[in-house]
């Protein structure tokens, strides 16, 4: 990681933006820029915590989806839908989880065209150990408080719902 800058680059972008484009769009510009930078910071923290488990955060998400599924297996398309990522990304993630022995690909007897990802015993053990590490480190969210994290979730939930991420009013899967 690079040494900290002697100034906040997003605050400087705000100053420049206001000077060249006017103050109207500054709040939304600094918000989106802050979110994007926070995503980079969090992804680096999470990947560092997950590296000892042979995982990255995208692999962890897929592994946990399988871990929580009713039978420990799901079609790749359903994984793509639930994680809200492109099918090619899911294929890549599952390939890596297969390579590390966390997941296996299976073809169900009733539909030989379908491909399921199934969590292995190693995958289940790793899912538990990785989750303990993430929980112990508050998913990399320090120095935010639990109240800060809850408020952040609530603020971003509105943006997600408005974008069609999920049906507004639906709290959990049915």
Please report, for the chain, the start and end positions of each structural domain, with discontinuous segments joined by +. 9-160
H helix runs in the chain, sequence order: 9-21, 26-50, 57-68, 76-83, 87-99, 121-136, 146-162
* The pair of three-digit structure tokens given for residue 3, joined into one six-digit string: 């040494």
Distance CA 23, CA 117 (A): 50
The SS3 of residue 117 is strand
Predicted TM-score of the model (pTM): 0.89
Distance CA 41, CA 139 (A): 12
pLDDT on residue 111: 83
| Inter-helix orientation angle 87-99/57-68, to 10° | 90
* DSSP code for 2: P
Q: How far is CA 106 from CA 56, 111, 115, in A?
A: 23, 11, 6
Per-residue pLDDT of the chain (174 residues; tens, 9 = 90+): 689 999 999 999 999 999 999 999 999 999 999 999 999 999 999 999 999 999 999 999 999 999 999 999 999 999 999 999 999 999 999 999 999 999 999 998 888 788 999 999 999 999 999 999 999 999 999 999 999 999 999 999 999 999 998 887 766 665
Domain 9-160: which CATH class? mainly alpha
């Amino acid at each position: 990681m690079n040494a900290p800058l002697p100034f906040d680059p997003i605050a400087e972008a705000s100053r420049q933006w206001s000077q060249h484009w006017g103050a109207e769009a500054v709040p939304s510009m600094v918000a989106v820029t802050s979110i994007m930078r926070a995503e980079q910071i969090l992804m680096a923290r999470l990947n560092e915590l997950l590296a000892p488990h042979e995982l990255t955060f995208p692999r962890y998400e897929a592994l946990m989806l399988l871990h929580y599924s009713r039978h420990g297996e799901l079609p790749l398309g359903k994984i793509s839908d639930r994680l809200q990522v492109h099918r090619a990304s899911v294929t890549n993630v599952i390939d890596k989880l297969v390579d590390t022995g966390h997941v296996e690909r299976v073809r169900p007897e009733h539909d030989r065209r379908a491909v399921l990802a199934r969590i292995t015993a190693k995958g289940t053990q790793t899912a538990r150990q990785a989750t303990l590490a993430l929980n112990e480190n508050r998913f990399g969210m320090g120095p935010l408080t639990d109240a800060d994290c809850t408020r952040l979730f609530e603020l971003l939930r509105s943006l997600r719902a408005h974008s069609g991420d999920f049906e507004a009013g639906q709290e959990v899967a049915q």
